[in-house]
Amino acid sequence: MSRPDAIPASAVRSEANTVKPFNRRHFPLDGWEMTLVVLLVLVLVGFSWAAPGFYDGMPDLLSMAENFLPFGFVALGLSLVIFTGGIDLSVSTTASLTAVVVAQLWHGFGMNIWVAAGIGLLLGALLGAINVLVIIRLKIEPLIATLATSFIYGSIATAVAGNAPPSGFPDAFNALGGGALGILPYQLLLFVPLCLGFWLLVARSAYGRKLVMVGYNREVALYSGIRVERILVVAYVLSGVMAAVAGLVLAAYYSAARPDMGDPLLLATLTMVVLGGVSIFGGEGTMLGVILAVFILGFLRQGMMIAGFSDMVTTMVTGAILITSIAVKNLFNKRGTGLGNQLWALLRRPEATGSEPE
Amino acid sequence: MSFAQWAASPGPGVGGHEGRIYRACNIGKRFGPVTVLRDVDATLRAGRVLTIMGENGAGKSTLFKILAGQLRPTSGHIELDGQELSLGAPSAAHAHGIYLVPQEPMLMPELSVAEMMFVGHMPTSGRFLKRVDWRAIRSRARAVLDALELDIGIDRPAKTLSIAQLQLVECAKALLHECRVILFDEPTSPLTAHEVETLFGIMRRLAGDGYTLSFISHRTEEVMEISDDIVVLRDGRMVGAAERGAFDRASLLSLMVGRELRTVSRRTKSHVTQELALSVKGLTHEPSFRDVDFSLRRGEILGLAGLIGAGRTEIAETIFGLRQVDRGTVKLGNTDITGVPSHDLIRRGVAYVPEDRGRHGAVLPMTITENITSSRMERVRQTAGLMSRGHETEIGAKAVRDFRIRCAGLDQTLLELSGGNQQKVVFAKWISTEPRLVILDEPTRGVDVGAKEEIYELIDRMAASGTAVVVISSESEELVRLCDRVLCIYEGRIVAELAGEEITPQSVTASYVGGSQARDAEFEKAGA
């Protein structure tokens, strides 16, 4: 994660062996992230040119982000879980349940909407904590554990919502979903500092380093005195909280809470995280990549919708991107053993492999 | 029959072919820009054992892979009985009667011994619905194992065999497929001294039967014991090739390393102080070990000798808080640390360098600096919860310098380093926490001779600075070189304690082998 940027001169002039702080990464972005930047530019330029109505000035482009930033919030939290080598399938129903509970607290109990929203965030943390306790204490694979809890959370959401889910929140709350400060949507104003926070957490904090270690090799982390379970608890709880944030933003955006509101979140956010370069096996990846992927996939889906493709088609494309990004990741893995690595090596030095002895 | 009688008795008589000469002529091998072998000649003769010697990275394994058909040479050729061969795959080598016994044979844990021996060559019966002919498999597998006088049940699942037994089963497989040239890829490094003797016994018998054998090693004693011919490689070049008689241990070592090397000796100065560092009383973790008592002073180096699986690693892991304590107490100085978890012990100055680098020691895809600081990230300066990259790099650079880690840059991942350098990174990771007590589990496994001596000096320096050191090692010379005191562990118990001049390679080995003999005697008594 860290890229050393300073080194004492004494180290460089060591007589035993010359140590350079870098041997290859002079540019702050690695290959995968550069590819993502290019993709983002392609998506923006491509749709502006091909889909009339996609680019209609900067304010319009920014407000388009309101349609996909809820995915972004979930993706930030979900990446922590995927960094550990786990997965959280319950993000969508966590978002729905939070939104519905907050709406009922406001509507049914006459609670102040902001107090209710605060309770909603705590609920998200609680749901995340339940996930991780099931995983750690009952020793159930994250995939199965969160699949099961996602059904449970979803059913509770339906029950809490009842026949007529509440709607028509106060305008101040609705502004969270659709309002803007000048040309900057409130959603974006919330998303940017969170991005910064998550990026620093993963790339620069001791927690982030431990998270990556646990993801790469849990045994080594254990033998290094890292409290692996704590790392997991924080990751799943933050994933739950971020899903709750997405639920609140969605509720504000629609000024309504529905128990199936979070359903589209899962596929898209998972795709964003993986497209962002986080390995589903854990360890590898960067937060910056995930943030780039949020905008790529977000604008791509919006662009396709504006160009007249149905929701069905965009979902299909999202699924295809998910498979493609995992496949590419496997073909060019960091250990250099993927098929892609080998083909590349073969192209670069054909004499090294298959040549006949002279 | 005793082992000595058995090894001296005439061979199993599987053969009947004339001997074969397998020759590598002017072999060169490049991987892209890197040349790993240059003009290497080696001749394997029937009835003789040819040893390929060299440090890690000298090109031994590459040469073997070429001989076994896994790699093609860039220049030069190989010939069998004067006929040039072009081997594209291991199967082609098998077809010519050349078999490579891997160091840690691929394990299909659920298969039985007989099944393993016939994987890919199952005899069948029946015309249309071909059925596996289990009777033929069992009888032929039994016959080969009997011929080698190996006492391994053919129905035992592979997962119950030791590495030594797996190697012997592979060897039997070579006979089964009528291979006359058998290559052993560094077979002895995962074996105990006793198992090595068994393997050498079998190799001698095969040589006596006219088989053509070759093996890789960097342990000079072994090489002098088993070889008829020796080829020494250094940096991909052949620096010596002759019959065994032309070499002695010192000349082999200096050829391998390329400079005169002091022969392994006892350490000259002890640094033991009076201050108690660690005391262990009645420590038990069933079923691995029980009632272990010992104490250790600051500046002392204590060795734990024993066979693999005797419980030494388990004792270390229990002290380090990775395993449950069933009974007993552990004290660090005067503080009771029984059952204290690892993260807390690290803060109190305990370090454990595990045996298996890839599984427990280091995260190979992470960088050198990241691995070094991972043992105690708190020591990196932090502002508002963010680690200072400048300070972290300083720590990394200092460790790379102090431990002479050879690398191109601090942000290289460990995947790009050689085994010896990976081991130095793992060392640096723990020693840079400045521990009061450090437990080293097989500190020089898979490390070449030069790096070994550097590691010994490092351990010595640590003791001189007042650190209490526990060294777990299966190499008795290493224990002689390093330790003030040696405890011999046999089946989870301390069976002997040696100190100072008493520690010799013979006494160390004898004490745990003696442990096994004492036990055998007990059994006989109980049986009678």
- Spell out the SS3 assignment of A58-80: HHHHHHHHHHCHHHHHHHHHHHH
Torsion sign, CA atoms B203, B207, B211, B215? positive
**pLDDT tier for residue B3 given thresholds of 50, 70 and 90:** very low
**pLDDT tier for residue A13 given thresholds of 50, 70 and 90:** very low
The residue length of chain A stands at 358
Least confident of A274-283, A302-311, B180-189: B180-189
Q: Distance (Å, rounded) from C-alpha B511 to C-alpha B489?
A: 9
Q: Quick check: A246 and A66 in contact, CB under 8 A?
A: no
Residue B329 has pLDDT above 90, yes or no: yes
Percent of chain B scored above 70 by pLDDT?
Answer: 88
Q: Does B73 touch chain A (CB under 8 A)?
A: yes
Largest Cα span, chain A: 87
In the prediction, which pLDDT does A149 show?
97
| pLDDT tens readout for residues A140-159 | 999 999 999 999 999 999 99
Q: Distance (Å, rounded) from C-alpha A293 to C-alpha A300?
A: 10
Q: How far is B446 from chain A (nearest CA, A)?
A: 19
Give the residue from B124, B198, B109 showing the smallest Cα distance to B160.
B109
Q: Quick check: A202 and A278 in contact, CB under 8 A?
A: no
Mean residue pLDDT across chain B: 83
Query: Mean pLDDT, to the nearest integer, of A132-138?
Result: 96
Q: Is the peptide bond before B287 cis (omega within 30 degrees of 0)?
A: yes
- The better pLDDT of the pair A352, B283 is held by B283
Residue A27 has pLDDT above 70, yes or no: no
Residue B528 has pLDDT above 70, yes or no: no
Q: How far is B428 from chain A (nearest CA, A)?
A: 13
pTM: 0.74
- Report the alpha-carbon angle B360-B361-B367, nearest 5: 120
| pLDDT tens readout for residues A223-251 | 999 999 999 999 999 999 999 999 999 99
Q: How far is A246 from chain B (nearest CA, A)?
A: 26
Q: Distance (Å, rounded) from C-alpha B62 to C-alpha B55?
A: 13
In the prediction, which pLDDT does B176 show?
86
Give strand ranges (E) for B135-226.
181-184, 212-217
Q: What is the ipTM of this complex?
A: 0.81
In the prediction, which pLDDT does B133 show?
85
Torsion sign, CA atoms A210, A215, A217, A223? positive
* Nearest CB neighbour to B404, from listed A17, A22, A284: A17
Query: Mean pLDDT, to the nearest integer, of B264-272?
Result: 71
Residue A265 has pLDDT above 70, yes or no: yes
Q: Distance (Å, rounded) from C-alpha A207 to C-alpha B186?
A: 41
Residue A23 has pLDDT above 60, yes or no: no
Residue B391 has pLDDT above 50, yes or no: yes
**pLDDT tier for residue B259 given thresholds of 50, 70 and 90:** low
Give strand ranges (E) for B2-157.
22-31, 34-44, 49-53, 75-80, 83-85, 98-101, 124-125, 131-132
Q: Quick check: A7 and B396 in contact, CB under 8 A?
A: no
Q: How far is B509 from chain A (nearest CA, A)?
A: 30
User: Which amino acid is residue B15, in one-letter code?
Assistant: G
Residue-range domains of chain A with CATH: 28-346 (1.10.3470)
Q: Quick check: B343 and A203 in contact, CB under 8 A?
A: no
Determine the residue of chain B that is closest to A208 in CA distance. Answer: B386
In the prediction, which pLDDT does B86 show?
83
| pLDDT tens readout for residues B488-498 | 888 788 888 88
Q: Distance (Å, rounded) from C-alpha B200 to C-alpha B171?
A: 12
Determine the residue of chain A that is closest to B416 in CA distance. Answer: A335
Query: Mean pLDDT, to the nearest integer, of A119-123?
Result: 97
Torsion sign, CA atoms B179, B180, B184, B188? positive
Residue A352 has pLDDT above 50, yes or no: no
Residues 6+ positions from A44 with CB-CB distance below 8 Å = A55, A299
Percent of chain A scored above 90 by pLDDT?
Answer: 69
Q: Does B32 touch chain A (CB under 8 A)?
A: yes
| Helix, strand, coil share (%) of chain B residues, nearest 5 | 40, 25, 35
Q: Quick check: B431 and B346 in contact, CB under 8 A?
A: no
Residues 6+ positions from A119 with CB-CB distance below 8 Å = A101, A102, A105, A111
Chain position carrying tokens 């909407």 = A113
Q: Do B362 and A220 touch (CB under 8 A)?
A: yes
Phi first, then psi, for residue A236 (nearest 5°) are -70, -35
* Nearest CB neighbour to A6, from listed B30, B367, B393: B393
Q: Distance (Å, rounded) from C-alpha A312 to C-alpha A221?
A: 43
Determine which helix (DSSP H) or strand (DSSP E) holds B353, and give its type and residue range: strand B350-353
